[in-house]
Amino acid sequence: NKQTENKRVLATRCMVPGVSENRPSVLRGDKLLVCPIGEKGVKYCGYVHSVQLDSVKLGFSSKLFDSKLDGNKEQSQAVQHIVAGSSKPAPYLVFGPPGTGKTVTLVEAIKQIEKTQASCHILACAPSNSAADLLCQKILDHVDDRKVYRMYASSRDPNCVPEQLKACSNLVGECYTFPPKEELMEYRIMVTTLLTAGRLVTGGIPAGHFTHVFVDEAGHAVETECLVPLAGLLHAETGQVVLAGDPKQLGPILRSPFALKYGMGVSLLERMMNDFSLYQKDNDVFNNRYVTKLLRNYRSHPAILKIPNELFYDGELQCHADEILRNSYCNWQYLKQRGFPLIFHGVTGLDEREASSPSFFNRAEVEVLMGYVTKLLQTHSKKGLGSISPKDIGIIAPYRKQVLKIRKALEKVGKDLKLKDMNALKVGSVEEFQGQERRVILVSTVRSSPNYAEIDKKFSLGFVKNEKRFNVAVTRAKALLIVVGNPRVLNTDPTWAHFIKYCSDEGGYDGIHFTGILAEEDEDVVARLAALFIAINVQGDTHTVYLNFHQHLPQNEHFESMLKLFIQIVWMKLEKHKCKTL
């Protein structure tokens, strides 16, 4: 046995007569148990790096940079296979469901390769600058910054470059420079966006210079983007490609109907997992020589994780989130069911659009959301409850106009509560929240009319009939998830119907009910209200509208919800009178 050892990895060449003739058959990436000559008590687990004439080269990792990966079988396994190059020349896939640490896994593999393979040159990419910056920052935790180069496109705003990365980037002062290829080729690790990697090709970096190409958030990238760092830079047979992402979350964002028609809405990662048997389950198990599915979720409470786990991940995800953090809202006084940190709040509102904008908003949902935000921010540290600040809360809405309406309403809440940091409460679309997390997430679904559902489906808008958007929205929360929406409209979608039934069965449903008044069309309910209505008196001096009814109105939650809907319709009709209150 010939051994070489450094601080982190032991590489051993073991004599195996007959291996060249497949007796026994050993492949790169296989796991072997070996023991030193003369010792029988202890066996060591190694991974095959290469198969030679009468020997195999084994790698034994003695220490991981991130000690948390030691106890995670799937993450450790992925790192070992990537370092060993077990899938070559095929790409290696890291299938990372929400909160499972796919970026951490990728970064660990990059660090191990840089430390153990002296001739390596690594290109690490991501579809967005924010994701590429995160990759680079994590790499710099253990790698000398003189070995790392973060290359930006000249269009990137210099003010958006993180302070930590400026010294190892092509930003000089307020301008970007692009060094000659000879200088770039000296770096062990280069980090760029997928498209900016094209400058390395046009700059003359020779094919085969990069031994490894890593793509994070590959499920979010257009396939042609993913090809940019591969074509012309990586040797097809000796190079190693690693793609990390989740095909069950949002794919590429496209607006062109032609691009969608010809399959560009499907990422390279998703297409490989759908179309190639190498990356598909055999007897309910992935072949970890080519793909590893990460299973441990470090983000969410089990109740929040349950539905997406069942619908999209074969029920395989395991909850490993910090117990104190994930349970921090299980005793919140406004929960419908103590110990169940989910609320679905049923609201019947209106899909509204302003003349100058095609985007939708829903006033009724904004009102309910502000009620919950106020209650959350007024919750001070009590027994079993942590104090919360605006930065711990996120609000997700599918339409730009609803986002703007929510932000406007939050300004008033902030003034009422005398809070100065309300801008830290992030409000955005599902796309803006992909890859992010908050202790508390509120979701506004907006849609209250089934008439627009097919339009949403056709143009990939909203939540109805869009499983991936649903999946991202409900998996951002760590400790508390509140969804506000119209159950009758959402119930037409099987995914949402499953979620609403789950909330109802577990006691987490609030607001209007499924039966009775909701079983009828909104228009019929409004018509019955209109029959009770006598007149509208516009008092010009006071700018107030009075609604008069000649029959007694029932005092129950169902009727009040429909009354609110009727009042909103009246308000819309009277806006031309410039009435300010109703």
- DSSP H or E stretch at residue 522: helix 522-532
Cβ(574)–Cβ(536) under 8 Å? yes
Say yes or no: 507 and 526 in one domain: no
Q: Is 268 part of a structural domain of the chain?
A: yes
Say yes or no: 105 and 147 in one domain: yes
What are 94's strand-pairing partners? 244, 292
How confident is the model at residue 379, as a pLDDT? 77
Q: What are the pLDDT digits (tens) for 453-481?
A: 555 555 555 667 789 999 999 999 999 99
Flag whether pLDDT at 556 surpasses 80. Answer: no
Q: Rounded CA gap, 210 and 119, in Å?
A: 10
- Which of these three, 18, 39, 61, is where a domain ends? 61
Flag whether pLDDT at 535 surpasses 80. Answer: no
Say yes or no: 381 and 476 in one domain: yes
Cβ(182)–Cβ(205) under 8 Å? no
What are 92's strand-pairing partners? 242
Say yes or no: 34 and 76 in one domain: no
Q: Rounded CA gap, 373 and 413, in Å?
A: 8
Instruction: Please indicate whether residue 246 or residue 39 has the higher confidence score (pLDDT).
Output: 246
SS3 321: coil
Q: Which residues make Cβ contacts (< 8 Å) with residue 99, sequence separation at least 6? A: 297, 298, 299, 300, 321, 437, 475
Q: Is 72 exposed, middle or buried (CB count within 10 Å of its CB: 0-12, 13-18, 19+)? A: buried
Closest CA to 487 of 499, 475, 477: 499
Q: Which two tokens stand for residue 368?
A: 């309910």
Flag whether pLDDT at 26 surpasses 80. Answer: no
Q: Which two tokens stand for residue 571?
A: 């308000």
Closest CA to 480 of 332, 284, 290: 332
Say yes or no: 571 and 508 in one domain: no
Flag whether pLDDT at 12 surpasses 90. Answer: no
Cβ(125)–Cβ(194) under 8 Å? yes
Q: How confident is the model at residue 97 (pLDDT cuts 50, 70, 90)?
A: very high
Flag whether pLDDT at 18 surpasses 80. Answer: no
Say yes or no: 545 and 504 in one domain: no
How confident is the model at residue 405, as a pLDDT? 94
How confident is the model at residue 570, as a pLDDT? 59
Q: Is 343 part of a structural domain of the chain?
A: yes
206-220, 306-320, 436-450: which has the minimum mean pLDDT?
436-450
- The interaxial angle of helices 557-574 and 363-377, nearest 10 deg, is 120
Q: What angle do CA 307, 309, 313 make, to 5 degrees?
A: 140
Q: What are the pLDDT digits (tens) for 100-116?
A: 999 999 999 999 999 98
SS3 14: strand
Q: Is 195 part of a structural domain of the chain?
A: yes
Alpha helices, DSSP H, located in 340-399: 363-377
Please state, rounded to an integer, the average pLDDT across all residues of the chain: 84
Q: Looking at this protein, which amino acid is placed at residue 129?
A: N
Q: Is 46 part of a structural domain of the chain?
A: yes
Say yes or no: 137 and 279 in one domain: yes
Say yes or no: 182 and 246 in one domain: yes
Say yes or no: 351 and 492 in one domain: yes
According to DSSP, the β-strands at 55-61 and 92-95 are unpaired
Alpha helices, DSSP H, located in 276-322: 302-312
Cβ(217)–Cβ(245) under 8 Å? yes
Instruction: Please indicate whether residue 21 or residue 375 has the higher confidence score (pLDDT).
Output: 375
Say yes or no: 347 and 488 in one domain: yes
- Which of these three, 226, 259, 294, is where a domain ends? 294
Q: What are the pLDDT digits (tens) for 262-298?
A: 999 999 999 999 999 999 999 999 999 999 999 999 9
Q: Rounded CA gap, 16 and 58, in Å?
A: 12
Q: What are the pLDDT digits (tens) for 312-327?
A: 999 999 999 999 999 9
Q: Rounded CA gap, 362 and 353, in Å?
A: 9
- CATH value at residue 9: 2.40.10
Q: How confident is the model at residue 122 (pLDDT cuts 50, 70, 90)?
A: very high
Total domains in the chain come to 4
Cα–Cα distances (Å) from 143 to 110, 138, 212, 276, in that order, read: 10, 9, 16, 35
Tell me the percentage of the chain whose pLDDT exceeds 90: 60
Q: Is the dihedral of CA 529, 534, 540, 545 positive or negative?
A: negative
SS3 38: coil
Cα–Cα distances (Å) from 351 to 59, 410, 462, in that order, read: 60, 20, 12
Kindly report the backbone phi and psi dihedral angles of residue 166, in degrees, each rounded to the nearest multiple of 5, phi listed first.
-60, -40
Cβ(482)–Cβ(441) under 8 Å? yes
How confident is the model at residue 40, as a pLDDT? 55
Q: Which residues make Cβ contacts (< 8 Å) with residue 348, sequence separation at least 6? A: 364, 448, 486, 488, 512, 518, 522, 561, 562, 564, 565
How confident is the model at residue 4, as a pLDDT? 40
Q: How confident is the model at residue 9 (pLDDT cuts 50, 70, 90)?
A: very low
Q: Is 376 part of a structural domain of the chain?
A: yes
Flag whether pLDDT at 91 surpasses 80. Answer: yes
Cα–Cα distances (Å) from 123 to 280, 304, 392, in that order, read: 27, 36, 34
Cα–Cα distances (Å) from 220 to 215, 247, 286, 501, in that order, read: 10, 8, 22, 30
How confident is the model at residue 551, as a pLDDT? 53
Q: How confident is the model at residue 380 (pLDDT cuts 50, 70, 90)?
A: low
Q: Is 582 part of a structural domain of the chain?
A: no
What are 547's strand-pairing partners? 536
What are 257's strand-pairing partners? none
53-62, 65-74, 91-100, 291-300: which has the minimum mean pLDDT?
53-62
- CATH value at residue 157: 3.40.50.300
- Residue 304 is given by DSSP the state H
Flag whether pLDDT at 546 surpasses 80. Answer: no
- Which of these three, 481, 496, 514, is where a domain ends? 514
Cβ(478)–Cβ(321) under 8 Å? yes
Q: What is the pTM of this model?
A: 0.78
Say yes or no: 509 and 526 in one domain: no
How confident is the model at residue 7, as a pLDDT? 38
Q: Give the DSSP letter string of 384-401.
A: TB----GGGEEEE-SSHH
- Residue 91 is given by DSSP the state P
Q: Is 128 part of a structural domain of the chain?
A: yes
Q: Which structural domain range is residue 506 located in?
A: 302-514
How confident is the model at residue 21, as a pLDDT? 65
- DSSP H or E stretch at residue 458: helix 453-459
Q: Which residues make Cβ contacts (< 8 Å) with residue 401, sequence separation at least 6? A: 353, 354, 357, 359, 360, 361
Cβ(476)–Cβ(436) under 8 Å? yes
Q: Is 209 part of a structural domain of the chain?
A: yes
E strand segments, 527-577: 533-539, 544-549
SS3 410: helix
Q: What angle do CA 216, 222, 223 make, to 5 degrees?
A: 90
- Radius of gyration, alpha carbons of the chain: 28
Cβ(566)–Cβ(528) under 8 Å? no
Say yes or no: 209 and 152 in one domain: yes
Cβ(332)–Cβ(497) under 8 Å? no
Kindly report the backbone phi and psi dihedral angles of residue 459, in degrees, each rounded to the nearest multiple of 5, phi listed first.
-105, 10
Cβ(475)–Cβ(299) under 8 Å? yes
How confident is the model at residue 521, as a pLDDT? 44
